Structure formats: C-alpha cells, structure tokens
Structure 1
C-alpha cells in the first residue's frame, strides 16, 4: 500500500488538453487539499444523524422541522451541483474552489453557533452551497492535476477511499463528539480544518485553463431549478407522502425542467451539461450504477443506526463505533484497488463490489429482536465495507474516463448529482417502504424498528440487484467492444 507522498511527487504537471508544461506544482499538497476538503463535506452529510436527538432537545425542533436540518443541506447541495461544476470550468476551478471552502467553513461556524432552529436550517442551506462547489470541483481538479495513467489511478483510489469512508466515519465522529462534547462540536471542528485548507489552496493550487465563451444561462436555470424541485419533492415525500399534491407537483415540475434542460443542451454551443458525456455506455452506466448503489447503501446508515440504539440499546457513541469494521475494511480495500486492477479487469472489481455489498445487505435485512452485533451486524458490515472499497474507484474512473479537459467539471457535476439524487431518492423510497410495514411511523418499539429495518434493507438489496443488471446489460457489452477495439489497434481506450 502506498501513501500519497510515495505515489505522487512534486514536479511539473501538464495541463489537460495542452502540450505545454506549467510551472512546478506540489501534487501531494494538491491531493491533500482535495481529499481533506472532500472528506469534510462528506463527513457533514452523515455526522448530523447521531446528533439529531440532542439537536431536537436543544433547539426545540418538531419532528418535521428536524428533518429539514438535513433537507436544507440536501436541496442546495444537489440543486447547485451542475451549475457549480460548469462555473468552475468557465470562471476558474482554483478560484471557485477556494470560494466554496470559505462558504462552507463560515456556514459550519454558523451552524455550531445556532441559537434557534430557523438559524440552523438557513446555515445548513448555506453549507450545502459550499459543498456543491467543493464536491465536483475537487474531482475536476484531481483529473486536471494528474495525467491519465498510474498516477491518476492512485489519486482516484485515494479519492474513492475518501468517498467510501466519509459517510461511515461521520457516524463514528458524530457519536463521539455528541457523547463527549456536544453536537455543536461536529460543526466547529470544520472551522480550523477549513481555514488550513483555504491557506493551502491559495499556496498550492494552480489555475487550470478556462473554457472561453458565454455561460449557458438557460441551462443553469433549468438544471438548478429542475434538480432542486425534484429533490424537494423527494425529501418532502417522507413527511407528506407520495400522494401529496405538493410532492406530485414538485416532482412533475422537476422532470419537466430537466426535459427542457436536455432540449436546451442539444442546441447551445457551450452547454452546462454536454450531452456528449452520455455518448459512452460505460460512462452512462457508471452514472446509473452510482445512483442505485448510493441509494441502496444510504439505508444502511439510516436504519442500522436506529437498530443499534433502539433494539440493542446502544448510546450514540457506541452506535457510531459500530461502523468501524466497515470503515476500516472499506479504506484498506480501496487503497489496494490500483494494484488489483493491474491483474483483474476493473469491471470485474466493480461486479465483485456490488456482489459483496448485496451479500452484506441481505444478511443485514435478516436482523431480529434477538440479534447480536457481531454475528448479525458487524460481520455483514464487513462485506458491505469490502464491496464499497472495490466499487467506488472503478465507478469514479468509469465516470470521468475519456472526458475532454473542457468537460471535466461537467462530468464531475453529473457524477456528484447522480450520487446526491441517489442518496435522497433512495432514502425517501426506503423510509416509505419501512413506514408502510408498520402501523406507526414514529413508533420506537423493538418490533416496529426491527420490521422497518428488515423491509427497508430488503429494498436496498433490490436496488443493488438492479445495479448488477445495469452493469451486465449496459456496461459489459460496451466494455467488451472497447477491449476488442483496443486489442485490434483501432482504439486507445483503456479503463483504469
């Protein structure tokens, strides 16, 4: 296993799509900035879960109001991803990345200082704006800094490992800080980290060539309002139900705006979401699988946490620590993927990752009131961690491979949008499934909690099966065709 410092050195880098060499850059420093910043926003996406009971008691939230602590973050994060990603290509990735860090850091301070619920919801929405900037631009900075080949593969492996452990480690950190300090500490910790990353970013990040031309204003409006409206309908379904006129109207409006986005993108010269990104079946398949895979695994964090606290009667700290086996295995396996990919085709690694995750999820769906942690939770979590470690790096590489320099931000935006939509829609569907299986949605009795977990994680297993079907029916034929062209000398396409 190599460290970033061993794999990546400080030397001149070549801008993507150019033949000139820029001034020497500190690639290890840049990778650290990218990974720590990306990890920070992922951490805040899950750290909130273990602190929700304490937040509700402190700020006197209603059950509906409490859900908007996460929904406000989700809406701005998901709605602005495509806009922020494309803006980075035009305005400058370095400049916008630092702006995103400033927004996220300031908003974290505001969340931690929240004197009332309305203040916290507004600050969480502001955090989502910062995250929408940092998330996709971090990946486009990575692809622009590290040329295709072994160095980029290693960098992507570290990025994928960060993506894989961010959510589960957030549960550990959230539980630890909530129990030992306060729920506010989980947000205050971002402030010194964010300040250090801003200073490092100003020192080490180098500006990449910008995309000249006009900004696609209609595309920006359609994408932001379309994704935002769609996500509003999805997250509102948890409280209002899928049959609610508000939910139906919001989803219908979101779909209509996204259709207008596609029509607009097919006509404009410099689209915010170039449709050529979907020309590759491998790339399109990876977006779809990411959507399904994230939708499936988000249920684990939401429902297993409830099982640990309401059935096994663990504290928030213990529940957070319960995710450590999955986190450790995930991280270790993800760092081995570049080495494994030299001997095993990456599509097989992705297939193995989906299969391992499916085994763990089916196992978890069989929990009962008499279950024990080690046999019924800890061991299946190890399978899920193994699956995540194997899956994320190939998914990331397939999503950005072959993308031209000028489309780097847009590809990152689409990938992150698939991730965020998958998380929101997946959780909404799984919560609805779990709620439909019991008489009371708010009941915390052992029997009702167990039933909700069983039904929801069975739904997660179904989403993983659909992901496997997409891999076999969409990605595999395209991958085989590309491999044949590569061996015949008619194509230079290679994955990982």
Structure 2
C-alpha cells in the first residue's frame, strides 16, 4: 500500500516504535512499586521477591544479542510482531498469576520477548529514518521516551496499585500491545539484513547459561558465600562465559564480535554501564521498600516520591551533553559515579523515624544528577570506533550490560540485606532493623560506584578527540 512510504506515515511509525520503547523500559520499574502488595498476596519470600525483578532483567539482558540477530536475519517487522504478541501473553499470564513461581516465570517470559522487541524497534527506526535531520529528530524523540520510561513506570505502577490492584501493573501492557500491533500493520515495513546470515547457536547457549549460572549463584549468596551451591553456580557461570569467549573468537559470524568489547574505552564503558545498572535496578528497589514498608507511604506516593531521581537525570542530561563536547567523556565518567556514591552514602544514613524531605529527597536529586553525567557519555562511548555492521551488536551489548549488571547487583544487594538482618524472619523484623539492612545495601552500591570511577580512570584513556565518535551512530537504550 502506497501510504506506507509517505512522509506522514514515517512519523506515525515513530510514535508506534517510541511507544514500544516506553513499555519495554517502564516494565523494568512498574512492578517495583507493586512488589510489597504482591509479596503479601502471593506469600513471596524475600528471595522470591527479588526474582520478580531479576527474572525480567536477566532474560532481557541475556537474550538481547540473539534478539538483534533474529530481527536482522528473520525480518524486523516479523520479529517485532512476534515479540509484541509474546510480551502481551506473558503480561496476561503474570497479571493472573496465583503463585510466586508463576509470577517469576511470567516476568522471565516478558524479558525474553522484550529482547525481541527492543532491537527490532531500534532497527525499524533506523531503516525508517536512514539519514538527515529527520533521523536526528526521530532518535531524539526515541531517546527521550526511553529516558522517561523509568519515571512513567514508577508513577503508573503507583497509580494502578493504589486505585486498582498490583495485577494491573502487568495487565496494562495489553493496551500497549494492542496499539503496537495495529500500528505495525498500518505503518511498519518489513526489512532484513542482506547476505547469507547464520546464527551462532553455541554462542547463544553458552552466554545464556553462563549469565544465568552467574546471576543464580549470586542470588544464593544470601545463604553464605561459602555455600557449595553458591560456589558451584558461580564457577559454572564463569566457565561457560569463558567458553563463550573462546567460541566467539573462532566462529565466522559470532553473536558478539570480540572486537566490540576488547577496545579499552568501549570495554570500560560496558563495565561502567553494568555497575550503573546494578544501582538503578538493584539499589533503588530497596528504596521503594523503605518508602512503603518503613515510612508507610501508599504505592502512589512511593512512586511520586521516587520521581526526583529520574527527573534529575533528565534535567542534567542537556548540561552533561554540553560538557561532553568540551571535556570529552572521561572526566564525566569519573565525576558522575563519585557523585552517585556520595548520594548513596548519604542515603545509607536513613532511620526508621526520619523525614523523607531530609533523609531521602536530597540523595535522590544528587544521585539523579550524577546518573545524568554517567549515561550521556556512555551512549557515545558504546559506539566509539564501531563499524556500521557492528553498531547493532554494540548497542545490544550496552543494553545487556545494563540489565545483567542490574540482575547481579540486585542479587548481591539481597545477600547484603539478608546478612544485615542476620537470618531474622521477615515478619518479625522491626523498622530499625529494616532501615539498617537497607542502609547496608546503599553502602554496597556506593562501593560499586567508586569501582566504576576507578574503571573510568584505568580504561577510558585517550585524547578527547579520540574518545568522541564521528558520524551517525545508532541510539543506545539505557533504560
């Protein structure tokens, strides 16, 4: 149909794709606000509670590289449609879950289908807006929506939990799915990568199982770092990831070309992305618990009270962009993590009877500002010196680092939280013990951010002109 290629249709396609990016990002946070209510209704343990978040992030991050390859080889529109249908089905399953295990499985399925949706949407945006001013505008809109997704998820999750039920934090996705499918039929055009393309299945299996073993091993650490199961799963994860690297160095069409991650500055950027993900996904989850369980906020007000963090990031981003052009990425990637670390240390001083405006709000604002100084240069470094045919894999690697970092970080913070409580039954814990445990997770997160600054000092080296990419670059989703 001719209207598919019209100029106006391209902008309708942008709306559909931006809406897709929104739902993928907001689903990483929308359930956070609902977790206390879901935990009570389904009888989740603290360990199961963290897996409701971890399952989504782990499946999303581990399968993103494969999702990008499927979109390129099988067809981007086809992959988008299948991903959207599967995401809707998984959301419905989760919204109707009767046990904690069903909810965790549903969240993992959501993450798996999100791993199809996210790269397909980005690739479709790239071919719909191939060059020029329209391309810059389209990517600016797409990136803005991605940046706002976390904030939208917090507020929407609060509204739905407060005035409907926690289950609607999952069922609301059916609306987005319906809009996405109709929009795909009307406005999106099929495309795929040319040539003889083959899947790197050994790479897919080893990296997926390796990351899964690593994350599950960290999740078992709450039982003790010396526990045989903890050591066993961590060891299996490391061995499988080492095998993945060996496979990628030998196959003709690797899932992850090693040249993408062996570049010093780019590899450093991926490591910093992982640490930032651990804080944004892991540490902030315990903040929402503090707001609701200790301070007694409703789900709605907990969502609103969490907003200063993403809003401060969005406000800071334009200033960070201007500074990036003057200083290059290295100074920002040193200062940003240290700013976040300082905010986390301030947050670790929370008390059971402390006021939100005094003990929490200042830390959220400073933390959000610091994150702005981290995410802006990371988007540039992720594609530094990357050839056009590797841009999709580099973007997927950055996204994967964020999600996997969040999965591992949440598992580590849960272990720190459990160790701080000393094995006390959750129902018997008083507010003072909870705040002490939450504070310990924030200290652990602060240590991680100091490590991120050290990574920037050690790996992000070179003159400013050498650390700034030139020409068109694919967008990098950081939600």
How far has the Cα of 1:273 moved from its partner? Answer: 0.8
How far has the Cα of 1:54 moved from its partner? Answer: 2.4
Q: Does 1:353 align with 2:336?
A: yes
How far has the Cα of 1:103 moved from its partner? Answer: 0.9
The aligned residue for residue 69 of structure 2 is 86
1:473 alignment partner, one of 444, 458, 464: 458
> How far does the alpha carbon of each residue in 1:12-71 deviate from its partner, in whole angstroms, 9 at most, with x for none?
9xxxxxxxxx98685544443333222212222222222223223433445554444334
Alpha-carbon distance in 2 for matches of 1:148, 1:348? 31
How far has the Cα of 1:354 moved from its partner? Answer: 2.9
The aligned residue for residue 207 of structure 2 is 223
Q: Does 1:454 align with 2:476?
A: no
1:278 alignment partner, one of 261, 268, 288: 261
How far has the Cα of 1:341 moved from its partner? Answer: 4.7
CA contact (8 A) 1:136 1:416 kept: no
The aligned residue for residue 185 of structure 1 is 168
Alpha-carbon distance in 2 for matches of 1:153, 1:126? 33
Instruction: Label 1:95 to 1:242 Cα distance change in 2 as closer, same or farther (>3 A).
Output: farther
> How far does the alpha carbon of each residue in 1:178-221 deviate from its partner, in whole angstroms, 9 at most, with x for none?
11110111112111112112222333334444153322221222
1:37 alignment partner, one of 20, 28, 35: 20
The aligned residue for residue 237 of structure 1 is 221
Higher deviation after alignment, 429-438 or 454-463: 429-438
Instruction: Label 1:150 to 1:329 Cα distance change in 2 as closer, same or farther (>3 A).
Output: farther
The aligned residue for residue 356 of structure 2 is 373
2:113 alignment partner, one of 130, 140, 154: 130
The aligned residue for residue 275 of structure 2 is 292
How far has the Cα of 1:143 moved from its partner? Answer: 5.0
The aligned residue for residue 232 of structure 2 is 249
Alpha-carbon distance in 2 for matches of 1:149, 1:381? 38
Instruction: Label 1:494 to 1:120 Cα distance change in 2 as closer, same or farther (>3 A).
Output: closer
In the superposition, the TM-score normalised over structure 1's length comes to: 0.84
The aligned residue for residue 59 of structure 1 is 42
> How far does the alpha carbon of each residue in 1:224-249 deviate from its partner, in whole angstroms, 9 at most, with x for none?
222222223233434x4433333322
Instruction: Label 1:439 to 1:224 Cα distance change in 2 as closer, same or farther (>3 A).
Output: closer
In the superposition, the TM-score normalised over structure 2's length comes to: 0.86
CA contact (8 A) 2:36 2:289 kept: no
Alpha-carbon distance in 2 for matches of 1:162, 1:44? 13
SS in 1 for 2:29: helix
Query: Considering only aligned residues, what root-mean-square deviation do their CA atoms show, in Å?
Result: 3.2
Instruction: Label 1:318 to 1:205 Cα distance change in 2 as closer, same or farther (>3 A).
Output: same
Alpha-carbon distance in 1 for matches of 2:458, 2:15? 37
The aligned residue for residue 394 of structure 1 is 377
How far has the Cα of 1:81 moved from its partner? Answer: 2.2
Q: Does 1:112 align with 2:95?
A: yes
Alpha-carbon distance in 2 for matches of 1:204, 1:390? 36
How far has the Cα of 1:422 moved from its partner? Answer: 0.6
> How far does the alpha carbon of each residue in 1:290-328 deviate from its partner, in whole angstroms, 9 at most, with x for none?
011111333432222222223322222221111122232
SS in 2 for 1:478: coil
Higher deviation after alignment, 292-301 or 126-135: 292-301
SS in 1 for 2:406: helix
The aligned residue for residue 368 of structure 2 is 385
Alpha-carbon distance in 2 for matches of 1:349, 1:147? 30
How far has the Cα of 1:492 moved from its partner? Answer: 5.9
The aligned residue for residue 5 of structure 1 is none
The aligned residue for residue 434 of structure 1 is 417
2:246 alignment partner, one of 245, 257, 263: 263
SS in 1 for 2:28: helix
Alpha-carbon distance in 2 for matches of 1:308, 1:194? 31
Alpha-carbon distance in 1 for matches of 2:295, 2:95? 30
Instruction: Label 1:157 to 1:241 Cα distance change in 2 as closer, same or farther (>3 A).
Output: farther
Alpha-carbon distance in 2 for matches of 1:252, 1:40? 35
CA contact (8 A) 2:161 2:299 kept: yes
Unaligned runs of 5+ in 2: none
SS in 2 for 1:437: helix
Alpha-carbon distance in 2 for matches of 1:467, 1:165? 24
Instruction: Label 1:352 to 1:423 Cα distance change in 2 as closer, same or farther (>3 A).
Output: same
Instruction: Label 1:312 to 1:56 Cα distance change in 2 as closer, same or farther (>3 A).
Output: closer
Instruction: Label 1:119 to 1:295 Cα distance change in 2 as closer, same or farther (>3 A).
Output: closer
Q: 1:140-179 maps to which residues of 2 (within 5 A)?
A: 140-143=123-126, 158-179=141-162
Alpha-carbon distance in 1 for matches of 2:169, 2:89? 14
Alpha-carbon distance in 2 for matches of 1:492, 1:181? 49
The aligned residue for residue 6 of structure 1 is none
Instruction: Label 1:176 to 1:437 Cα distance change in 2 as closer, same or farther (>3 A).
Output: same
SS in 1 for 2:193: coil
CA contact (8 A) 2:288 2:306 kept: no
